[in-house]
Structure formats: C-alpha cells, structure tokens
Structure 1
Amino acid sequence: MRALRYLVLAGLIGAAFTAQAEPVTYKLDPGHTNVLFSWSHFGFSNPTANLGLSDGTLVFDEKNPAKSSVEVTLPLANLDTHVAKLDEHLKKPDFFDADKYPTATFKSTKVQAVGGNKYKVAGDLTVHGVTKPVVLDATLNKSGVHPMMKVQTVGFDATTTVKRSDFGMGAYVPNVSDDIKIRITTEASVPKADGAQ
C-alpha cells in the first residue's frame, strides 16, 4: 500500500513538473511595448522613431526555449518621430509607402538560448512588401506574476540591425544611413479568462 502511495505521489509530482515545463502563451501589451528604430542623418544626428505594436503573441518555454515563438504586427499608422512632417515623409512611397503596405510584421522561425537570460530569435521581417531573415538578440528582463494584473508576465528587450535597402527603401543612402538600428522593449502577459477581474 505504501509503495502504491509513493507511486501515486511520484506521478503527481511528475505531472506537475510536466505542466510547469509546457510552453506558455502570452499576449504582448501594446501599452508597454516600444519598437524603436534609429538612423544616421548625414552624420550630424541620429533620429529615432517608434512603431509601437497593434498585436503580438509570444509562446515562451523557459525549460525548452526551442519551443518558443513570437509573432507581431506593427502598424505604420502609429509611426512617431515626434516631428509631424518627418512622420508624413517616412510614410510616403520613397520610404515605407504606408498606404500600400500599412503594417510591418515579424514571425520567428527559431529561438535559441545562448546562456543566462539571453536568446537568439531568428525570424522573418516583412516591411514594404519585402520579407528578409533577421536575428534579434533578446534578453529576458523578468518572469513572474505581475503585481498589479495578478497574471503570469514576462518582459524582454531585443536589438538588431537591418539594411533598409534590403527592403526596397534605399532613398538617400548613404547620406541617410542604410543601417537601421532597432531596439525593442516589451511586456507580455497570460490573457485572463473571460469574466476574470
């Protein structure tokens, strides 16, 4: 009888561990997400713009990061440089052509742990109707229950550099730099069940 009890207890512990190790699906929070990109303007300054986020889903498995994935949609309507005329120019056909291509998207193809809280996130970035592979250097800032929302939450920062000419947006290169530095910070939480407070 005691052996049976131990067997049941071991099974319950094993089941709990398995459940803990499963990938968790999070929704990215647009209110706590910045997708910033910056460039050199004739070498004199380094302007920055924020694309923000309209929708994003993160599947994260801390035990087995290879099972993780991320998919986001970035609305060009929200592009913000804090300079209205520059916002307008960047949305025109010689840059984003936002009327024709109203969103940019990123969909991961591989997530690799590289030690500590660092990850390489490879994926396909689509901008201006062109899709190219990119790799994000991501850092897990924190994972745990959010003190205000009371749900499981994760926070990441990530960086990468892309060439805008690869996406058919080479206007004014090299005076306006081809290299675009991208810096992302985001929070993502497990969605509350319908009706939960």
Structure 2
Amino acid sequence: MRTSLTLLAAAAVLSTAGIAQAADYAIDPTHTFASFEIGHMGATTNRARFDKKDGKISFDKAAKTGKVDISFETASVNSGTAMFDKHLQSAEILDAAKFPKAQFVSSKFVFNGDKVASVDGNLTLLGKTQPVTLKANQFNCYESPMLKREVCGGDFETTIDRTAFGVNYGIDWGFPKNVRLVLQVEAVKQ
C-alpha cells in the first residue's frame, strides 16, 4: 500500500512537471518607455514620452498567454521643452491634474509561432477606455548577464484616434486626430 501511494505521488509530480506556469515580471523602468508622435501643421512631428511608469506582466511562453498592467504618470510627460510639457499637461490635452495616469491593461497575447506578434488590450486616458492592439515590431526573452534573471521585452506600436479619448485640442486648426504610440517594454522575471 505504501509503495502504491509513493508511486502515485511520484506519478502526480512527474505528470505536472511538464505543465507550464505563468511567471510574474516587473517592469524595468530604465528600459520601458511610452512615447507618442503627432503631426504639427503638416510640417514636422511633435514627439514626447512619459518618464514615470509602473507595471507588471504575467507571461507563460509555453501556453502562449499573458497579462499586462502598465501605467504612466501623465505629469511626467517630457518633450524636451518645458513650455510644451506644461501645455501637454494642461486641461487642453492630458489634463494631468485631473487624470494623473494613463493605463494599458491586457489579457490577450497574440503569437506568431513562439514570438509575441501583438497584445490586445484597453487603453485608459482622460478617464475614457478604448480597445487598442499593440503590434510587436520585435520581442525576445533573454537571460540578463547583469541581473542573472530572465528578462522579456519588445518594441510595440499602435495608432489611436485621440478624439476618442476627448483630446480635441487643435482639431479645428488642422492638427491630426491620429497619434502614433510607441512602447519599449522590458520586464524582469520575479
């Protein structure tokens, strides 16, 4: 009887050994940025990024599943020009005083073979939530020689209609409503 129980326990352990488990990853703030680009009167492109961010990812490579929850402080917007940053933070655009965070949440990773091809989720900006798909331009997991842990990350992009979030500044003057979002994300396995 004892031998049977031992064999059953060993079989149970061996049968679950091959089952993949989702791992938790913390956003590496030194390798994670969200930036945006919008045309300026058909002549140039305005660009800025958010410097303060926080988030976590749960990722299971074998099961090809994952979850993302990343937020960016809207007051940390940085264009490289203080006066433009204040305008971006104002109620006319990001309304950072009233809406201190922009957030992307997802529970759907789309794969092409073993690589993440895109992440479908919801972007919340100015209290409004809209579905977005972040296309992966590249994605990889690697063993960090400095951290001695696995790091996963990639470059993602999407284009949003800013008016869907209530950002209508300059529409009457001919500023485009489409904004290109570019995300560089790396996260460290915990």
Per the normalisation by structure 1, the TM-score is 0.85
CA offsets 1:79-103 (integer angstroms, 9 cap, x no match) = 1000111000011111011111111
Offset at residue 16 of structure 1 (A):
3.1
SS in 1 for 2:30: helix
**Alpha-carbon separation, structure 2, partners of 1:115 and 1:175:** 42
**Equivalent pair of 2:109/2:116 in contact (CA under 8 Å):** no
Larger fraction in strand: 2
SS in 2 for 1:70: strand
Q: Are positions 1:26 and 2:25 aligned together?
A: yes
Tell me the amino acid that sits aligned with residue 21 of structure 2.
Answer: E
SS in 2 for 1:40: strand
Aligned residues: 185
RMSD: 2.2
**Equivalent pair of 2:66/2:107 in contact (CA under 8 Å):** no
Q: Which runs of 5+ in 2 are unaligned?
A: none
Alignment of 1:110-189 (within 5 A): 110-115=108-113, 117-139=115-137, 141-173=139-171, 175-189=174-188
**Alpha-carbon separation, structure 2, partners of 1:100 and 1:126:** 13
Tell me the amino acid that sits aligned with residue 139 of structure 2.
Answer: N
**Equivalent pair of 2:137/2:157 in contact (CA under 8 Å):** no
Identity within the alignment, %: 29
Name 1:195's counterpart in structure 2: none
Alignment of 1:81-120 (within 5 A): 81-115=79-113, 117-120=115-118
Q: Which runs of 5+ in 1 are unaligned?
A: 192-197
CA 1:60/1:77 → structure 2, altered by over 3 Å: closer, same or farther? same
